[in-house]
Every structure is written in structure tokens, then in C-alpha cells.
Amino acid sequence: MSVDHSATNNHQLTSCDWQIKKQKISERGQYLLRTAQWSDCKFIVGTEPYQQEFGGHKLILAMSSPVFEAMFFGGMAEKNDPILILDVQPDAFKALLEYIYTDAVNLQSFDQACELCYAANKYMLPHLVGECTNYLWHDLFPKNACRAYEFAKLFEEPVLMEKCLQIICLETEAVLQEPSFEEVEFSTLIVVLEQDELRISSELELFKAAQRWAARECVRKGLPPDDGKSLRSVLGPAVGKIRFLTLTPSQFAEGPALSPLLTQDESFAILLNISSTSASCKLPLPEGFSNSVESRCRPSPASPDQPSSLPVQVGILASPAHRDTKFYCVRNILPQPHCLNTSILDCSVTFTVDRNIFVHGVQIPTQVLGEGSEVGTGSSPPNPQLGGSYTELLYAHLLDSDGSRLTYTHYTTRVSYGSLVEITFNRSVEIQRNKVYRVGVVLNKVGWYPMGSCTQRMMCDTVFFTFSVGQPSDSVRDGLIRAIVFSY
């Protein structure tokens, strides 16, 4: 019996057509995920009525996640099929699978990043957690600062927590006016009320926001939202954090004194303390109430006719008024073996900031090999304590995300070994928040330079810097750029 080998070959070619056409493993992974071909496990994700079913491949999942490895191949391997996952949203689980199968991360919103980060933590995918956290870092606004704070606290991200608190303190009025403030956790409400400096016009704003939160919490707990006892029961010690004594008598009498939150005795005692200048006429404040008379109001960062929210043109020259106070975002560094420059040494680092600033220059380390020491192949490490000086020769510039030069300088001067030197650009440039920029320095002197790995995220005053963003090739020997010199 004869066999038509050509027909067999044509059949094999047809059945394997997708493997042949897919040039990258990510494309083949995407095909398997989309078609569920050869899938050997199923997941039911989410809660009714929004549940979705997903097919998966145990080997691929276990290869990426130790949690999936234990689930499918561990001693307590999952026997149920399909596997029920109730605590993850379907869209987040789909994005999780996309990452596992294709390495793709396509974040579109703050909420999506939070949900995906929860799933990534659950299944122990630290790189994906980092991608989500980085997205949140650049998508912080008053409307989501409190939620981002709670997220950062949950996943122990202290730097992100600090940035959220900065936004809350600097843009308090906008934060309190957001409807989402009524949804914050009680512990977050306490944190806001415990801040010593907030950008508010008076303590009335905090009182009104706390009352709104309490009314909403009563609804969540099935309590009457207009009943004083119910409001106080959910607020607990929070009401005592409000600095009533910073209010004028009329402010208190026309506001908090009329609220069901306070009893008549409490209102009378507070009003008497506000109004009276004589200690003998004052009544003791109710237990747990703040006796602070110090206002926590911060002045606005911009005058009414020049609001800080207006868009700013990139690349304009900084006015002298903006140069009075300079700040130095000095990067924490983990020292590494020194680098020998034999001709020209390129170094650069990309960065973003969370608010518009003026960049004036950078700080870089000088050579560590003292004068009179021999520069050779480097059989022994250089001694940074030798002292002396040499003539440094370099070029530095600031580029935007398209590689266009915004400012630059040529630098030649006598410098000390083992020190930091400040390089000032020919002109200061104003740059925009959340845009990627790159500082580059070209060192032209032969000698040893101290290398190191620098922290990727730093806060200086109220400005947050994120370094080494964008394309990895844009940040080269970035440890040689130790600080960004700026003002705002």
C-alpha cells in the first residue's frame, strides 16, 4: 500500500503553520494563551456576575511563579479543575497571564495597576510588582493620593508612601474635596488629621471632610448618617485630632457647634476656650480633644494669578528669582571597583521628576588616584586618600526624550582628588513633570573614577526623582552622576 508523502507533508505544514509564522517566543506564547491550545488547567476568576474562565498551561505558569509551581507540582498540588480564584479581578488576572506568557505589561489606569499589583504579589512576580509600582509613581494626583498611600502601606513601599503624603500635604484642599476621600480607611483618615502642615485655609476643611467621611461610614455600617452618636461611634478618636482652638469664635459657632458630631457640653467648653483670654474663665477641654492653638495651614505655592497647575513650556531659561535656593538631589550609592579611563569615558542617566523644576547642573566625583601615582593596568586598587589635584576636562549636557539638547557646558578647571565637583550648565532649563530627560557627561582625562550603583528613587525637599527610566541603553555608568542640582 503506497503512501502519499507529499500530502502528509502538506498536512504537517498546515497543522504547524502557526509555529512557523511566529518568529518570537512571545508571539507563540500569545497564540497559546489566546487559543488555549494544549491547555491543561482552567481558572474561574472573580465573583458573580462578572466571573470569567481562563485556560492555562501548568508548565508555563510554574516556570514563572513559585506559587503556581507549588499549586501544580508541589506536595499539596491543586486537584480541583477548574481552579476558583475569587480575590482577583478578571482583567487583572488576564494581564497577569499576558505578562507570564509574553513579558508584556500594558498598564492603562491607576485602578488596573493596583489590581494587577495585588495579583503579582499574590503569585510572587516581583518584576511585575515593580512595573505596577513604577506606573503608580508617575500617576499620582490628589484624586488617588489616599488610595495610593493605602496601597503603598499594604505592600510596604515606604518611598511611595512618603510621596503620597507629600501630595496630601501640598494639595490638601483638592484631596479633601474628592468624593473618594469618603472611601479611605480609618487609619488613613487618622494619618491626615495628624499632619502638622497641611495646605488648607482653616481647620474647618478638615472638620467638614471628617464629618462627610463619618456619614459615609455610617451608611456602610447600616447606621443612621445624621445621628450624632452614630457619627461619633465611627469617628472615635479622630474627632479629637481636629484643632478646634485654631478657629475664630464665629467660625466655630457657625460650623462645628451646629454639627451633631459634638455634644452641647463639648461645644460650650471648646467655644469658651476659643473666646476667653483668661485662664480662670476656661473650662477643661473634653477628654481626648486637641489643645493645640498652632495652625497647620501652609501658604499656597503660587499666587492666584499664577496657579501652579498651568502647563509650563519646556526648555525656557530660568528667571533669577528661581535660582535663589538651589537643591541637591544626591543619590545614595553602593561603591563598586573603580573604573580606569584611558581616553574618553561616557556616562549618562535618565530621570523623571514629579513636578516642574529648573535644572542647573550636576555633581560628579573626581578621580581617586593622587598626583604622582602611576596609571597603568591597575594591578592594585587606587588610594583615595593620596590628596593633590589635577585639571579636569569634560563636557556635559541635558537632553529631552527625543535626544534634543536643551543645555550643555564645557568644563575645565583644577579639582581635588577624591571629591565632588559641581558642573553648572550654560543656562538653567525648566523641565516638566513625568517627562523623561537624560543627563550625559563625557570625561576626557585619563585616570581612575569611583564607580557605584545608585538608588533609583530619591526625594529631595518635596521633589521625587526616578532615575534609570526608559531605554536601558540610555543610562550608562550612571553612578558617575551623583547629584542633580535644581530649584523650583
Q: What is the DSSP string of 212-232?
A: HHHHHHHHHTT--TT-HHHHH
- Mean pLDDT computed over 247-270: 91
Higher-scoring residue by pLDDT: 180, 298: 180
362 and 437, same domain (yes or no): yes
pLDDT tens across 134-165, in order? 888 777 888 899 999 998 888 888 878 888 88
Cβ–Cβ under 8 Å, residues 429 and 359: yes
Task: Please compute the mean of the pLDDT values over residues 162-171 and round it to a whole number.
Answer: 87
Which structural domain range is residue 482 located in?
A: 320-371+384-487
Q: Is residue 312 part of a domain?
A: no
What's the pLDDT score for residue 357?
93
Its pTM stands at 0.57
> Would residue 5 count as lying in a domain?
no
Q: How many domains does the chain have?
A: 3
Q: In terms of domains, do 337 and 473 share one?
A: yes
**Domain end residue (candidates: 77, 107, 137):** 137
Q: pLDDT value at position 117?
A: 92
User: In this structure, what CATH number is given to the domain that contains residue 399?
Assistant: 2.60.120.820
Q: How confident is the model at residue 338 (pLDDT cuts 50, 70, 90)?
A: confident
Q: Residue 394 is inside which H or E element, if any?
A: strand 389-399
For the cut 70, the answer to whether the pLDDT of residue 361 exceeds it is yes
pLDDT above 70: percentage of residues in the chain: 86
Give the Cα separation of 127 and 104 in Å (integer): 12
340 and 451 part of one domain: yes
175 and 267 belong to one structural domain: yes
Q: How many CA atoms lie within 13 A of 2 on its CB side?
A: 4
Residue 3 domain-assigned (yes or no)? no
Determine how β-strand 83-85 pairs with β-strand 41-45: parallel
346 touches 476 (CB < 8 A): yes
Measured CA distances, 327 to 165, 361, 463, 468, 485 (Å): 20, 11, 10, 20, 6
Least confident among 37-46, 120-129, 275-284:
275-284
H or E stretch covering 266:
helix 264-275
Residue with cell 510621596: 163
What is the residue-averaged pLDDT of the chain?
83
- 382 vs 450 pLDDT, higher one: 450
The verdict on residue 143 lying in a domain is no
Instruction: Name the more confident of 366 and 337.
Output: 366
- The CATH number covering residue 131 comes to 3.30.710.10
Whether 115 and 160 map to the same domain: the answer is: no
| Mean local confidence (pLDDT), 372-393 | 57
Q: Are residues 43 and 178 in the same domain?
A: no
Q: How many CB atoms lie under 10 A from the CB of residue 436?
A: 17
